[in-house]
Structure 1
Amino acid sequence: MLDERQIGDLMLTEIESAERPSAVLDVERAMSTARRQRRLAQGAGAALLAVALTVGGLTVPDLLTPDRPPAPTPLGAAPVDGQTGLPVALTTVDPQRVYVRFGWLPDGMRDLQYQAGLLLSGQGVHLGASNGRTDDQRQFVTVSLLPKGVEPSAPQRNSGEPAVAGDSERGPRLNGGDSVFASYSGAEKPEAILCWQYAPDGWAQVRVFGTGSDVRKTATQVARSLRFGTDTIPMPATVAGVPAGLRLITVNVHESLDEPNYWDAGWTWTQEPATADPGRQRARTLAVVVARYRNVTDPTDRAFVDPNTTLDGHPARFTEGDGNESLTVYDVNGANVSIDDSALLPTGGTRALFPMVTLVAEPAAWHTHLHR
Structure 2
Amino acid sequence: MPTDVLLAEGERAVRRRQRRAVGAAAVATVVAVLGAAVLLQGVRPQAQPSPGDGRSPSPTATGGPPTVAPDHFDPAQRLFRLDWLPEGMSIRHESYERYGQWVTVMEPEQAQRAGGSVGVEDIVSVMINAAGVDPFVNWAESDALTGGGRVAATPLPGVPAASVRGKPAYLHTSPGGRETRLSWQYAPDAWAAVSVRGVERPAETARRVADGLVWDRQPVTLPFLPVAPPEGAMLHRAVVTVRDGRWDSAQLGYLAPSRPEAPRAVEDFTVGMTREFRGKVAGSITVHGRQGWVDAVPSGIGAYRVGELPGVCQTCVSEVSALSSAGIQALGGRDGALALAAMVRTVGDPADLTTWRPL
Q: So what's the TM-score if we normalise by structure 1?
A: 0.68
Deviation of 1:277 after TM superposition, in Å, equals 8.3
1:362 to 315, 335, 349: 349
Residue by residue, what CA displacement relative to the aligned partner does 1:132-185 show, whole Å, maximum 9, x if unpaired?
337577111111112213343135257353673424443333232231212332
1:339 to 312, 316, 320: 320
2:6 to 1, 5, 8: 8
1:128 to 92, 98, 104: 104
- The DSSP-based 3-state class of the residue aligned with 2:164 is coil
Q: What is the match of residue 195 of structure 1?
A: 183
2:228 to 241, 246, 250: 241
Q: What is the match of residue 322 of structure 1?
A: 299
Matches within 5 A, 1:151-300: 151-153=134-136, 154=139, 156-157=142-143, 159=146, 161=148, 164-167=151-154, 168-188=158-178, 191-212=179-200, 214-257=201-244, 261-271=246-256, 272-275=258-261, 278=264, 282=267, 285-293=268-276
In 2, the alpha carbon distance for the partners of 1:344 and 1:221 equals: 44
In 2, the alpha carbon distance for the partners of 1:268 and 1:249 equals: 5
Q: Which residue type is aligned with residue 303 of structure 2? A: S
In 1, the alpha carbon distance for the partners of 2:211 and 2:355 equals: 23
In 1, the alpha carbon distance for the partners of 2:160 and 2:209 equals: 17
- The DSSP-based 3-state class of the residue aligned with 1:211 is coil
In 2, the alpha carbon distance for the partners of 1:136 and 1:314 equals: 35
Residue by residue, what CA displacement relative to the aligned partner does 1:207-241 show, whole Å, maximum 9, x if unpaired?
111111x2211111100101223322111123433
Larger Rg: 1
1:309 to 259, 282, 285: 285
Deviation of 1:307 after TM superposition, in Å, equals 5.1
Distance of aligned partners of 1:197 and 1:338 in 2 relative to their CA distance in 1, 3 Å threshold: same
Deviation of 1:288 after TM superposition, in Å, equals 1.0
In 2, the alpha carbon distance for the partners of 1:201 and 1:211 equals: 30
| Root mean square deviation, CA, Å | 3.2
Verify the 8 A CA contact 2:133 2:263 in the aligned structure 1: no
Verify the 8 A CA contact 1:305 1:330 in the aligned structure 2: no
Larger deviation, residues 90-99 vs 311-320: 311-320
Verify the 8 A CA contact 2:287 2:342 in the aligned structure 1: no
Deviation of 1:192 after TM superposition, in Å, equals 2.5
Verify the 8 A CA contact 1:292 1:364 in the aligned structure 2: no
Distance of aligned partners of 1:127 and 1:102 in 2 relative to their CA distance in 1, 3 Å threshold: same
Matches within 5 A, 1:42-61: none
Deviation of 1:19 after TM superposition, in Å, equals 5.0
Structure 1 outlier segments of 4+, above 6 Å: none
Verify the 8 A CA contact 1:255 1:368 in the aligned structure 2: no
Distance of aligned partners of 1:215 and 1:275 in 2 relative to their CA distance in 1, 3 Å threshold: closer
Larger deviation, residues 194-203 vs 230-239: 230-239
Give the fraction of aligned pairs with identical amino acids, expressed as a percent: 23
In 2, the alpha carbon distance for the partners of 1:316 and 1:352 equals: 10
Deviation of 1:303 after TM superposition, in Å, equals 2.9
Deviation of 1:327 after TM superposition, in Å, equals 2.0
Q: What is the match of residue 126 of structure 2?
A: 143
Deviation of 1:325 after TM superposition, in Å, equals 6.4
Distance of aligned partners of 1:307 and 1:88 in 2 relative to their CA distance in 1, 3 Å threshold: farther
Verify the 8 A CA contact 2:6 2:119 in the aligned structure 1: no
Larger deviation, residues 229-238 vs 202-211: 229-238
Distance of aligned partners of 1:236 and 1:202 in 2 relative to their CA distance in 1, 3 Å threshold: same
Deviation of 1:247 after TM superposition, in Å, equals 1.2
Distance of aligned partners of 1:307 and 1:174 in 2 relative to their CA distance in 1, 3 Å threshold: same
In 1, the alpha carbon distance for the partners of 2:317 and 2:88 equals: 28
Distance of aligned partners of 1:339 and 1:137 in 2 relative to their CA distance in 1, 3 Å threshold: closer
- The DSSP-based 3-state class of the residue aligned with 2:11 is helix
- The DSSP-based 3-state class of the residue aligned with 2:14 is helix
Distance of aligned partners of 1:322 and 1:129 in 2 relative to their CA distance in 1, 3 Å threshold: same
Verify the 8 A CA contact 2:248 2:276 in the aligned structure 1: no
- The DSSP-based 3-state class of the residue aligned with 1:351 is helix
Verify the 8 A CA contact 2:295 2:304 in the aligned structure 1: yes
Q: 5+ residue gaps in structure 1?
A: 21-70, 295-301
Q: Which residue type is aligned with residue 309 of structure 1? A: I
Distance of aligned partners of 1:255 and 1:73 in 2 relative to their CA distance in 1, 3 Å threshold: farther
Verify the 8 A CA contact 2:84 2:208 in the aligned structure 1: yes
Verify the 8 A CA contact 1:100 1:127 in the aligned structure 2: no
Q: Which residue type is aligned with residue 338 of structure 1? A: E
Q: So what's the TM-score if we normalise by structure 2?
A: 0.70
